[in-house]
Structure formats: C-alpha cells, structure tokens
C-alpha cells in the first residue's frame, strides 16, 4: 500500500492488544508508536464501561486512553436509541453497565418500554425473557441487541473460557417472537461511525485494526475504510479468510503490522 498515509485509527482491544489479563506481544510498542495519530478504541463488549477499560489498560501497564477515546457497544446503542426516540423507555437485559448507560438518556420501564435491549453478562432468566416477549408481542416494543457475537472469549479463574455473546443471549427472544433484532455493534456501521466522528476524521483516512474478519474487518470494509487484520485472536495464522473479506494488511502480529507500516511510511510521525 505505497502512498497511503494513515491519519486516524480505530483499534479493537480483545485479541489485538490483550487477551484478558495477558498483554499481547508488541501491544505496548504499538500504542507508543501510534500515540501521535488520532485514535479511538472500539469494542463490541457492552459489559465494561470506558472507565473500567481505562483501569484495565492501567493495570496492564499500557498507555491509558482518554475516556472519550473509548467507544463501547453499550454507548453506541444509547446513541442509536436517542436518535430513534429522545426520552426513550427501555427494558434492558444484561450487565449493570448496560442498564446504567441506557439510563443516562432513557427511562427504565418494564411495562411500557419502546425498546427491549439485550446485552452481554448475567441478568437473563425466565422472567426477563417472558417480560421481553410480551413487550414485543403485545406492546410493539422493538428488539435491540448491543452486539451480534455468538460467543465471547474470557478468562474464568485464570483459565480461558467461552461465554455466551449478545447474539446467543438475544436468540431465545428472537425465536419466541419471530422478530429479528437490530444489532448495533460491529460489523454494523454505527459503532465505527461514532468513533470516526469523535476523531473528526473521515472514513478514507482511517484504518480499522482488529482480530476478527467477520466483524472488525467486514464492517470497516463495507464502510470503505482501510483495514488491518492481526491474527492474534480467534482467527489464527493458517485460517482462510471468509469470502469477500480483503484486509488491506493481513499480519500475524502488531509487531509485523508496525514493520509493514514503517516500511511504506504509512505511519508518519506527527512532528514531520
């Protein structure tokens, strides 16, 4: 990609910078190198707030980002809901962060919700599924899900484990009602657009760095962004890319990506 100059970056975190409490090789050097380029961290994870994510960076001794440089799927969901209906009423199922985020500009209302919002984390049970189904079928509430991931990699008692993602948790409600949810997170455009807007950047100047071809890369590519796939997450070195997915850079690690960017002068120092 000779001639391309990167003016802004969107960076996924899990599988790119770290796995849980384990920092991935090259992550600290990568963050120091891109420090002068406007960048935003984007995640489909609706459980951690930007403040909690910043604390995680600090614990891992990575450069701590400003809070407005972290965009989560819970925040993107809030933005989307406000746009649909200012002062919206919601019934949320998921971790406490989702409830708190939506309550910033919406009103929790299990009787007359305009939106049933499903996120990740504990909180889903027989009663909440039943409430959601009735709100949708009898009150015409719309079904929203923070992110479409079917599973999430996590650390459970220090061991790798797999947890249900938004796509799995919303499924019982979608099946019972016959209604397809609106998914807000990657690969849908909203999360990217919010982050790009915060950076004051344009799509063509911005590169998305991620570890998942089906979400990180697919969504950015559909928007017309340049993309960098790092094969340090679920998607391993030998795996074949899904049909139609063509990352601008396809690297085994952040270290290799930095080497490629340096070789083509794609990443220029801000003081040049």
Site for Mg ion in 195-214 (CB under 5 A): 211
Write the CB contacts of 269 (distance below 8 Å, at least 6 apart in sequence): 36
Select the residue interacting with Mg ion from 9, 10, 11, 12 (CB under 5 A): 12
Shortest spacing between CB 17 and Mg ion, in angstroms? 9
- With respect to Mg ion, which residue has the nearer C-beta, 14 or 120? 14
Joined together, the tokens standing for residue 228 give 């960098």
> Contact at 8 Å (CB) between 62 and 28?
yes
> Contact at 8 Å (CB) between 135 and 116?
yes
Contact stretch for Mg ion (CB under 5 A) within 5-13, 96-104, 191-199, 255-263: 5-13
What span, in angstroms and rounded, lies between the C-alpha atoms of 163 and 186? 18
Q: What is the DSSP letter of 203?
A: G
14 catalytic, yes or no?
yes
How many residues interact with Mg ion (rule CB under 5 A)? 4
157 catalytic, yes or no?
no
Select the residue interacting with Mg ion from 15, 26, 181, 213 (CB under 5 A): 15
> Contact at 8 Å (CB) between 136 and 179?
yes
149 binds Mg ion (CB under 5 A): no
Which residue, judged by CB position, is nearest to Mg ion in the bound state? 15
120 binds Mg ion (CB under 5 A): no
How many Å is the maximal CA-CA distance in the chain?
Answer: 61
What residues are annotated to the active site?
12, 14
**Binding footprint of Mg ion on the chain (CB under 5 A):** 12, 14-15, 211
């Amino acid at each position: 990609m000779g001639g391309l100059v990167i003016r802004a970056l969107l960076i996924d975190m899990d599988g790119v910078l770290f796995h849980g409490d384990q920092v991935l090789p090259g992550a600290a050097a990568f963050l120091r190198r891109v420090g002068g380029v406007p960048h935003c961290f984007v995640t489909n994870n609706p459980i951690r707030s930007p403040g909690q994510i910043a604390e995680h960076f600090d614990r891992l001794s990575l450069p701590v980002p400003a809070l407005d440089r972290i965009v989560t799927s819970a925040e993107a969901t809030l933005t989307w809901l406000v746009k649909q209906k200012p002062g919206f009423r919601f019934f949320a199922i998921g971790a406490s962060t989702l409830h708190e985020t939506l309550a910033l500009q919406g009103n929790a209302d299990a009787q007359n919700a305009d939106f049933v919002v499903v996120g990740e984390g504990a909180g889903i049970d027989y009663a909440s599924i039943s409430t959601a189904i009735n709100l949708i079928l009898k009150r015409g509430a719309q079904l929203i899900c923070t992110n479409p991931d079917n599973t999430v990699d996590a650390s459970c008692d220090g061991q790798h484990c797999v947890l249900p993602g938004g796509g799995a948790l919303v499924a019982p409600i979608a099946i019972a009602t016959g209604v397809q949810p609106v998914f807000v997170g990657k690969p849908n455009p909203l999360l990217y657009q919010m982050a790009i807007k915060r950076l004051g950047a344009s799509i063509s100047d911005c590169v998305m760095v991620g570890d998942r071809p089906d979400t990180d890369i697919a969504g950015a590519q559909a928007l017309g962004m340049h993309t960098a796939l790092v094969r340090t997450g679920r998607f391993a070195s030998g795996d074949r890319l899904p049909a139609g997915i063509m990352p601008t850079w396809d690297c085994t690690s952040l270290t290799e990506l930095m080497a490629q960017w340096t070789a083509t002068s794609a990443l220029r120092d801000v003081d040049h």
